[in-house]
Amino acid sequence: MILAIETSCDETCAAVVDGSTVYSNVVSSQALLHGRFGGVVPEIASRRHLELVSSVVRAALDDASVRLADLRAIAVTAGPGLVGALLVGVAAAKAYAYAAAKPLVAVDHLHGHVASLSLDEEPFEPPFLCLLVSGGHTLLLDVTGPSRFTVIGRSLDDAAGEAFDKGARLLGLPYPGGPAIEQLAADGDPGCVPFPVAMAGRRGLDFSFAGLKTALATRLRDQAAAPADMAASYQAAVVASLVLRTEQALEATGARRLGVVGGVAANASLRAALNRLGERRGVAVKAALPRYCGDNAAMIGAAAAHLVPVEFPDFLQIDAYARAALGVESSVGW
């Protein structure tokens, strides 16, 4: 069993995982804390992680009915994310590993999202094409093994989740923006307000969402429409862009299996659109279970099972990193 810790953004998370079996998965969200500011404040997030990490780890161990001595290793998200927040998790993981005389596994947050597809009664095993769509990243990955990925498309500016958060602020909706837009859009007409499908006329598999946010600001200024219709139309434009590039990636790679992960993968409209795409193209589509779409430590523990642990004292050299060094291929995430 592995104790995993995740503190990359505004959720303090700990889990006890053995392969694809999750014995506990504790998530303490800071959404209400940051809601008044319309987004995550890094300094507030790191301080709150410092306050919560010990109690969250204790809850995860208690829920799993295990002790530190029972564990095989400790795992922690090393990046990418808010570096101050990550440092809290990395420091805590080093302390637990040292105290328990256990090795430490540094896990990339994005690798964790891909591994979330294994946390199911029927794990989705490689090879497959993966759409990773979250608040900080939008990527298309050719997944050839449990820890081997090739990046074939990425956002050139805002991620899809960031587009939802920024769009929600323009619409006067609370943080987090994705769920707020989805809830309002449920009562709207997605065809009411015309929005461009970003990058539709460009070659390649990259994404762009910054212009869509600008288009929303322009529509709100110049076009009268019910808030629900505006939200539904905006959401439809984000989904259309994701589906377009995903279909182009399926065509380019010949993949017959598609995995969908990340916080935005919980969006019902996106899941339905990708399922329709799969039916149309004869492609098996698997989205991560909703409880593992957002940031959580269970996915970090699942990813750690395929990585090489670092023994003491070498794990003391592990450091947090804010940005992923996205290369062509990686054997341990990014």
Q: What is the CATH number of the domain that holds 96?
A: 3.30.420.40
Q: How many residues does the chain have?
A: 334
What is the DSSP track for 84-132? HHHHHHHHHHHHHHHHHT--EEEEEHHHHHHHGGGSSSS--PSSEEEEE
Contacts of 251 (CB under 8 A, 6+ apart): none
Instruction: Give pLDDT, residue 326.
Output: 41
Provide the domain count of the chain.
2
- What confidence tens digit (pLDDT) does each residue in 238-257 have? 999 999 999 999 999 999 99
The answer to whether the bond into 42 is cis (omega within 30° of 0) is no
pLDDT for residue 202? 86
Q: Is residue 159 part of a domain?
A: yes
Residue 80 has a pLDDT of 96
Low-confidence ranges of the chain (pLDDT < 70): 325-334
Distance of CA 84 to the CA centre of its chain: 19
* 100 and 134 both lie in a single domain: no
- Domain assignment present for 193: yes
CB-CB contact of 48 with 85 (8 Å): no
The tokens describing 207, both together, are 């994404």
Predicted model pTM: 0.94
My answer on whether 143 and 272 are in the same domain is yes
Q: For residue 28, give the nearest of 1, 56, 9 by alpha carbon.
A: 56
Do 268 and 132 fall within a single domain?
yes
Helices 227-253, 210-222: crossing angle, 10 deg rounding:
150
Please indicate, yes or no, whether residues 108 and 128 belong to a single structural domain of this protein: no
User: Is the same domain home to 307 and 229?
Assistant: no
Token pair for 309: 């642990």
What are the helix (H) ranges across 107-226?
109-115, 160-170, 177-185, 210-222
Rounded Cα distance between 202 and 186, Å, is: 31
Q: Does residue 196 share a domain with residue 134?
A: yes
Query: Which residues does 9 contact at the CB level (< 8 Å), separation at least 6?
Result: 40, 45, 81, 82, 85, 135, 136, 295
Q: How far apart are CA 39 and CA 50, in angstroms?
A: 19
Output the CA–CA distances (angstroms, integers) from residue 171 to 175, 180, 213, in the order listed. Answer: 11, 10, 11
- The answer to whether residue 119 sits within a structural domain is no
Question: Which range marks the domain in which residue 178 is found?
Answer: 124-287
Task: Give residue 330's pLDDT.
Answer: 35
The strand pair at 284-287 and 257-261 is best described as parallel
| Residue 172, SS3 per DSSP | coil
- Say whether both 216 and 309 belong to one domain: no
Does 316 fall in a domain? yes
Residue 254 lies in a domain: yes
- Cβ atoms of 287 and 128 within 8 Å: the answer is no
246 lies in the same domain as 137: yes
Q: Would you say residue 184 lies in a domain?
A: yes
Q: What is the pLDDT of residue 58?
A: 98
Sheet holding 329-330, edge to edge: 284-287, 257-261, 128-133, 138-145, 148-154, 329-330
Would you say residue 10 lies in a domain? yes
On whether both 263 and 315 belong to a single domain, the answer is no
101 & 223 share domain: no
Q: Does any domain span residue 176? A: yes
Cα distances (Å, whole numbers) of residue 302 to 10, 13, 23, 292, 312 = 21, 14, 12, 11, 22
User: Is there a single domain that holds both residue 67 and residue 209?
Assistant: no
Q: Do 149 and 185 fall into the same domain?
A: yes
